[in-house]
């Protein structure tokens, strides 16, 4: 197993960026590909607010890439909430256009949408779902783990002077979204996007007792038959559920969508199509 530290310059971000790249095991690489024509699937993986791409070293990301024969690429998203900021970098544009292009110039990863997937945890899950909904020509599948999706609710809490739980306050949310009274129904509202973006497949997972559980269920219902909803017994980033990412990646790489092992099915409640 191995991973790389990747640093490059972005014109969209107007500066440099950093990313972690987790590599397939050597025996799963086409080492006899003398013409370098082989292109591999890739999962673009987003961390939550208050974290960095280095957080994924605490999970099974490296093992998943090695065993499944895919590249997992995790960029730093700073405090952008994976969004085209009103006052700051256009991070969503970077993620959907420039960043994949830079990586493809340096790595043997595919341009095919069917082999490009996106995922995240916390607010990174929000960013992943939003990117998949708004850029279905780039990403075909999405995994959302321990997701925080209702940005309108968070903005209202900030305006009321309450803790937001995502390392943002009223002023920093204005930098991200602009008019934070108008998030509901906007292009930053994943529930609204889910109503008219009708492509893609989604794996939504989190704990039943999470304060954000209702947000995840609501999103799964809005996505309908495109979503698989799985409740887990622990959260991926606090070591209580290290297999969450592994099961999600198995779902990505299994063309029949049968990636959830029987043991997990016995201990989770699955919901497909909002039922």
> Residue 187's pLDDT is what?
96
Question: Average of pLDDT values for 78-105?
Answer: 96
Which residues partner with 6 through β-bridges? 19
- pLDDT digits 0-9 by tens, 145-182: 999 999 999 999 999 999 999 999 999 999 999 999 99
Beta carbons within 8 Å of 265's beta carbon, 6+ residues apart? none
Q: Give the structural domain span for 170.
A: 3-272
Band (234; pLDDT cuts 50, 70, 90): confident
> Residue 235's pLDDT is what?
77
Which residues partner with 117 through β-bridges? 43, 141
CATH code of 24's domain: 3.40.50.1820
Counting the structural domains of the chain, the total is: 1
Band (254; pLDDT cuts 50, 70, 90): confident
- Write phi, then psi, for 42 (nearest 5 degrees): -140, 135
8 Å CB contact between 264 and 230: yes
3-state helix, strand, coil in the chain (%, to 5): 40, 20, 40
Q: Which two tokens stand for residue 102?
A: 């830079």
pLDDT at 258 over 90: no
SS (H, E, C) 73-109: EEECCCCCCCCECCCCCEHHHHHHHHHHHHHHHHCCE
């Amino acid at each position: 197993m191995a991973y790389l530290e990747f640093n490059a310059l972005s014109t969209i971000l107007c500066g440099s960026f950093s990313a972690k790249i987790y590599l397939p095991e050597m025996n799963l690489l086409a080492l006899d590909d003398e013409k370098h024509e082989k292109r591999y699937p890739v999962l673009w993986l987003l961390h939550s607010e208050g974290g960095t791409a280095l957080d994924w070293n605490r999970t099974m990301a490296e093992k998943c890439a090695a065993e499944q024969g895919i590249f997992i690429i995790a960029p730093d998203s700073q405090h952008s909430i994976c969004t085209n900021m009103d006052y700051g970098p256009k991070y969503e544009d970077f993620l959907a256009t420039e960043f994949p292009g830079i990586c493809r110039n340096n790595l043997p990863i595919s341009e095919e949408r069917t082999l490009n997937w996106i995922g995240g945890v916390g607010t990174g899950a929000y960013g992943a779902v939003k990117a998949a909904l708004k850029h279905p020509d780039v990403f075909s599948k999405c995994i959302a783990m321990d997701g925080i999706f209702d940005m309108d609710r968070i903005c209202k809490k900030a305006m009321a002077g309450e803790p937001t739980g995502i390392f943002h306050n009223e002023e920093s949310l204005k930098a991200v979204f602009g008019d934070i009274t108008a998030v509901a129904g906007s292009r930053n509202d994943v529930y609204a996007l889910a109503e008219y973006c009708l492509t893609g497949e989604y794996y939504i997972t989190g704990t039943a007792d999470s304060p954000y559980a209702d947000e995840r269920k609501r999103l799964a219902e809005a996505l309908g038959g495109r979503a698989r909803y799985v409740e887990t017994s622990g959260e991926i980033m606090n070591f209580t559920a290290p297999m969450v990412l592994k099961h999600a990646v198995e779902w990505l790489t299994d063309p029949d969508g049968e990636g959830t092992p029987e043991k997990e099915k016995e201990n989770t409640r699955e919901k497909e199509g909002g039922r």
